[in-house]
Structure 1
Amino acid sequence: MSGHRVQVHPSIDGIGREWDVLMARARAPVFYRRPFLRAFERHPLHAVQRVAYILVTDARGRPLAGLPAYLHQGVDPMRVIADHFTHARGRPVLLSHVWHCYDTVLPVRPGEERAARTGLAALREVAQEWGAALYGMANVDAAGPLDRLLARQGLHGVDIDVGWGLSLPRFTGYDDYLASLRGKPRRNLAHDLRLAARDGVRFRRLPAADADLDGFVRLARATAAKHGNSDYYRPGLFQDFVRALGDDVEVLELRLGDRLVCSGLALLDDTRYHFWACGFAPMNGYSAFYAVFDHIMRGAFASGRPWVELGRRNPVFKRRYGLTPRTLTARFAETR
């Protein structure tokens, strides 16, 4: 690891274009791109006490690895700390990434995996300096190389959730994907699409600046209330955050007359089409969610990206529609 240099920045805009180059080379998810990080700085979707952006370079200043880190205290919407790291409950923890990220990685320039260990050592040092009880990462793919690296570095892991997605190149297109489904799920989808068309439900795909984000938050909070998690979408703050994402987000709206009945947010990066969030109203005899799912999948195939990501939760539906599960872990270590 000799020759590596570590920079710790308090703001993403304190780092130049080298961050963007690194994230592109590492094919990092949208959650690591400058628009998302800047939006979270300006409009934090949950409380953070301090922020650090750790950048590992070589002696010439070439970026090799980077990760954001957030100091939390008492913020645990998925009850990861409360249920699995109880001795740290209510104490400060240093976490990468934020809880709204379900796709945690450690972006590394290809061929420079040793720099990842330097980044983790820097994460531990920041945790020590800031008085965190724990440091680590949540929502890591349990079958991926990062989970194995974290284990080798002594971070204790627990399974916390399941993420769902689908590799698109295995299909010739959306119709081929539909043909791969069992008969009943295919018929259910066609049934709900037919009833939505009968009622005159209209679809729009549009940028955040032109979307009804107040309507999205209203629907999303009502949908999240079923899981006791409405404040995942804090009114005012969430709309400002989404607008700050710029071209990295698109909004999918379903309207019945003048009424917004379903709204979803898709996040975009180089390799993934993320169905990030959704809210929908009850309909007469069918689900608006099925209709927006149809448009999400069509949009994912049309985008040319190789993977569509549908996040966590709702496993029955996602299994029924052929999505691939992956176990997500949290790995933490005590700060010494």
Structure 2
Amino acid sequence: MEYTVRVHTTIDDVDERWDDLMTVAQAPVFYRRPFLRAFEKHPLHPVLRTAYLVVEDASGRAHAALPAYLQRDVDPMRVLADHHPHAVGRTVLLSHAWHCYDTVLPVRPGPDSGSAALHAVTALRDLASQWDARLCGVVNADADGPLDPLLTDAGFSGVDIDVGWGMTLDHFEGFEDYLANGLKRKSRYNLTHDLRLADEAGVSVHRTDAENADLDGFVELARATAAKFDNSDYYQRGLFQDFVLALGDCVQVAEYYVGDRMIASALTLTDDTRLHYWAVGYAQEDTPGYSPFYVAFAQVMREAWASGLDWVELGRRNPTFKRRYGLQPRSLRAYFADVVPELE
């Protein structure tokens, strides 16, 4: 099949063919129009230029697509500094944004899907050259996914950078079944103990949309929580609230209160198959005997089974807790290719 690659600079320049492709490819929420539009309007990290690469057939039907971001001095996980120091301080073209922990290459299923995917990867490298990037690549991709052989064969070198965690929801009938049969005795005791003490303390949960949530309160809790990882600016004041508001219906907020004091707040995102436990902030003192983090985790897991979706995604970090509570790890890999700009 003959393909043409078109490069768009805003998501609203791409019509409903983008949405159709993301649906048939079962792409994560990070590839859906609300997330991409929100990131354009309120980029959570600096972006010099944005591109949406769309691989089309002769009829204009989209068969593969990638968002890509030209950036400089954006390296929140020290991937460039540790593995490609020659690119530090230079422009790089990457897919996806660093706040996406589930990078894929959305491809229309079919016998020619491999060719469409290769066209997208080749176009990414060509665009990096046109934009004088020193490096191009894909970050936070599943090391065991279909991108690994595709990118390796295309000359991209891969390196493991983090671990993502999630759970197939059909392993258990619901939260109570998971609690009774999916956890070891000590883990089950710790979780039920905290839930009981939280209930005795009068913890209540308020579920709402972003517009009616206390997003300022969320950001302050999240920044304090992220400080443990020296990463508070992952949640930039003002910018992060604006971004979440721009997500619209694909984000939900669960706020946890004792009286009128918010002790935790959790953001979840949804797509066609997954519930994403995307972000959480919680008080780390003045909650005697129980952890608001445990309480929020339990509530999100209840919501995951109630949603009827196939998978709950819990992102990166905190491996000890996630392993203890039966979540399944996957290695996240970054793939890079050097680009020699025409000016060099």
Q: What TM-score, normalized to structure 2?
A: 0.96
Which deviations, in whole Å up to 9, do the C-alpha atoms of 1:109-135 show, x marking residues without a partner?
011231000001110111001110010
Which deviations, in whole Å up to 9, do the C-alpha atoms of 1:297-335 show, x marking residues without a partner?
000000001000000000000000000000000000001
Which deviations, in whole Å up to 9, do the C-alpha atoms of 1:212-261 show, x marking residues without a partner?
10000000001111111111001111001001111111001101111110
Match of 2:39 in 1: 40
**Which among 186, 206, 211 is matched to residue 188 of structure 2?**
186
**Which among 307, 328, 334 is matched to residue 332 of structure 2?**
328
Question: SS of the residue aligned with 1:93?
Answer: strand
Q: For 1:17 and 1:144, how far apart are their aligned partners in 2? A: 27
Task: Report 1:125-274 matches (<5 A).
Answer: 125-179=126-180, 180-274=182-276
Match of 2:94 in 1: 95
Q: For 2:104 and 2:339, how far apart are their aligned partners in 1? A: 21
AA matched with 2:50: V
Match of 1:120 in 2: 121
Which deviations, in whole Å up to 9, do the C-alpha atoms of 1:260-304 show, x marking residues without a partner?
100011010001100001000022121000000011000000000
AA matched with 1:266: T
Q: For 2:155 and 2:170, how far apart are their aligned partners in 1? A: 37
Matched, 1:286 2:295: no
Q: For 1:202 and 1:48, how far apart are their aligned partners in 2? A: 39
Matched, 1:309 2:320: no
Further displaced range: 25-34 or 203-212: 203-212
CA RMSD of aligned residues (A): 0.7
Question: SS of the residue aligned with 1:151?
Answer: helix
Task: State the 1:30 CA deviation.
Answer: 0.2
Question: SS of the residue aligned with 1:20?
Answer: helix
Question: SS of the residue aligned with 1:311?
Answer: coil
Question: SS of the residue aligned with 1:125?
Answer: helix
Which deviations, in whole Å up to 9, do the C-alpha atoms of 1:68-126 show, x marking residues without a partner?
00001000000000001111111100000000000000000011231000001110111
Deviating beyond 3 angstroms after TM superposition, the runs of 4 or more aligned structure 1 residues are none
Task: State the 1:175 CA deviation.
Answer: 1.4
Matched, 1:64 2:68: no
Which stretches in structure 1 are left out of the alignment for 5+ residues? none
Q: For 2:142 and 2:265, how far apart are their aligned partners in 1? A: 28
Question: SS of the residue aligned with 1:285?
Answer: coil
Q: For 2:276 and 2:149, how far apart are their aligned partners in 1? A: 25
Q: For 2:101 and 2:177, how far apart are their aligned partners in 1? A: 28
AA matched with 1:300: A
Which stretches in structure 2 are left out of the alignment for 5+ residues? none
AA matched with 2:205: F
Q: For 2:31 and 2:227, how far apart are their aligned partners in 1? A: 28
Which deviations, in whole Å up to 9, do the C-alpha atoms of 1:9-65 show, x marking residues without a partner?
010000100000000010000000000000000000000100000000100101100
AA matched with 2:138: M
Question: SS of the residue aligned with 2:160?
Answer: strand
AA matched with 1:322: G
Question: SS of the residue aligned with 2:77?
Answer: coil
Q: What TM-score, normalized to structure 1?
A: 0.99
Question: SS of the residue aligned with 1:113?
Answer: helix
Question: SS of the residue aligned with 2:272?
Answer: coil
Matched, 1:276 2:278: yes
